[in-house]
Structure 1
Amino acid sequence: MSLIADQKVKLWYSPFACSFVPHVVLREAGIDVELILAQVGDMSEEFKRLNPKGRIPVLAIGDEIITEMSAILTAISFLAPEAHLLGRTSLETIRVYEWLNYLSTTAHAQSFASIWRTERFTHDVNLYPSIQSRGVENVRDVYALIEDKLSEGHSDYAVGHSFTVVDSFLILLYFWAGKIEVEMEFTYPRCTRYVKNSWERKSVAEARKIHMIV
């Protein structure tokens, strides 16, 4: 089946969670979307039937159910190719996926998850403090790399000179870092300038309201 832009689009989301990322991208693409709340940590049986992995985000385009961040962002981008959300050249698209893989795995699934979803890493609650402490160290390492990458790019955007799906992900991770009391503004000034440049962008501001990110 081909993805057709006039099909009904639904996004299952949870405030503060990574579903903020595709929400921004949907707004950026100008796609009408039905938002359905699926609270992290309290997923309904109906949601688990929809996505047996029990994780958000989940995207529906017509009858097609799509899970996993990179797949969801790719699907949205295919619905609005004129927005160039995967980059404007083949090399930019490669760089977009390079970023997405790193942000989805090292940054999100390993670093932040070890702090907020420590039960995924061990059954021994006595180990939680050391795992969480290491998670904070990993977040700092992640942002040191991001700081360097953004400094090398000499652009207001992560890839090329226009907004891509990567930018929405980096904005969320910046907000998350502040929630674990990682000092961002002075330690990572390039990241801070980068995020502030997009903070009031229409797509970002609209998604922030729904996700209560201030």
Structure 2
Amino acid sequence: MFKLFRKKKVTIDSIKIPKFGLKEVENTKEEQAFVNQEQTLVLLKNFFDLEPDLPTIKDIDFLRKFYRELIAPNGGALIEVDLLQLKGFATVKTIFKFPMDPKGMAYVGSITIPFENYSYVVKVQAAEVGMTGMRDAVILDKLMGTKEVFIGDDDEIKNWFSDPYDSEITNPGLRNKSDARQYDAEFPEHPLSLVRKMLDNIEQEIVFDTKLTEIAKFDK
């Protein structure tokens, strides 16, 4: 009982990020949501007043395996999973993509900031609309031309799909070479480019309340 009174009071506003010109569509004690004018990109900030469900923030290989297995049932592909120190706070950064029905891909990028009894998740979501697959097609054609990607004896495309961290993984739902950051500049309006750019901006602009330095850290 006395432990409850000793908990430091933190809220969703204990971390702040700019609106980046987006329109606010929700503001509660658990979630703040923003969308762009075209309603093709969503920015979410969530506060969870409970112990994080992350398995670890120390073992990056185990964490990547955890996320692979988590998104696999929905056909998700892992694009990035990294650990970073964000202004002194241990953080998990992820980017996944998921197939949409009937076509196209949705991209979800997140920055998770865990504490012992709380966590914050800033999430950016964007999806292909209209003509889909253009980025994939252009980069595939380019890499076929340089022979970096080729058609094998079994008539399958080789060296196009791969897990970003483990070349031995051959599961369905892998990222392809066009998902690499180096191609964002060629396709600045592609949803993956927009998600990455927004996450980069959030990393630069996020502000942490000083109260958070007094909160017990997530230590698994």
**TM-score when normalising by structure 2:** 0.24
- Name the structure with the higher helix share: 1
- Name the structure with the higher strand share: 2
- Structure with the greater alpha carbon radius of gyration: 2
